[in-house]
Amino acid sequence: MIPEDLRYTAEHEWVAAGDGGAVRVGITHFAQDALGDIVFVQLPESGAVVAAGESLGEIESTKSVSEIYAPLGGTVSARNEALVDTPEVINSEPYGAGWLVEITPEDPAAVDGLLSAAAYRELTES
């Protein structure tokens, strides 16, 4: 299940272009499936400046702790506060209610440089 309208990273994050220039970021179905039952999420505060490829938080599952990487540089404009109490929603709705943060990118065109759905599908099937 790889939505065609999103962009992806090799680290298994997805990016959805939003209104007003902000993009919504989450982890893919592939990533949540590999992690197993998610029990805790650490996210940056609103206003934090993130650089592409750098860690912006962690996801802890019953199996392991994994870094979440910023798919592009910019400023965190929102974070999904619901995940504090219900991190497991990432397992059931990774592309919906399980989103992680919204970032206002320094360079909005950077989204176009991320993987297409077809390229991400190829990555996960190889």
CATH number at residue 32: 2.40.50.100
Q: Given a cut of 90, is residue 19 above it in pLDDT?
A: no
Residue 117 domain flag: no
Residue 112 domain flag: no
The mean of the pLDDT values for the chain is 95
Residue 69 domain flag: yes
In this predicted structure, what is the pLDDT of residue 22?
94
Mean pLDDT within 98-119: 96
Q: Cα–Cα distance between 71 and 114 in angstroms, integer?
A: 8
Residues in contact with 92: Cβ distance below 8 Å, sequence separation at least 6, in sequence order: 98
Mean pLDDT within 46-50: 97
Residue 33 domain flag: yes
* Number of other CB atoms surrounding residue 79 within 10 Å: 22
Domain ranges, residue 27: 7-106
Residue 63 domain flag: yes
Give me the number of domains the chain comprises: 1
Q: In what order do the strands lie in the sheet with 65-69?
A: 38-42, 55-61, 65-69
Residue 52 domain flag: yes
Mean pLDDT within 50-67: 96
109 in Cβ contact with 3 (< 8 Å)? no
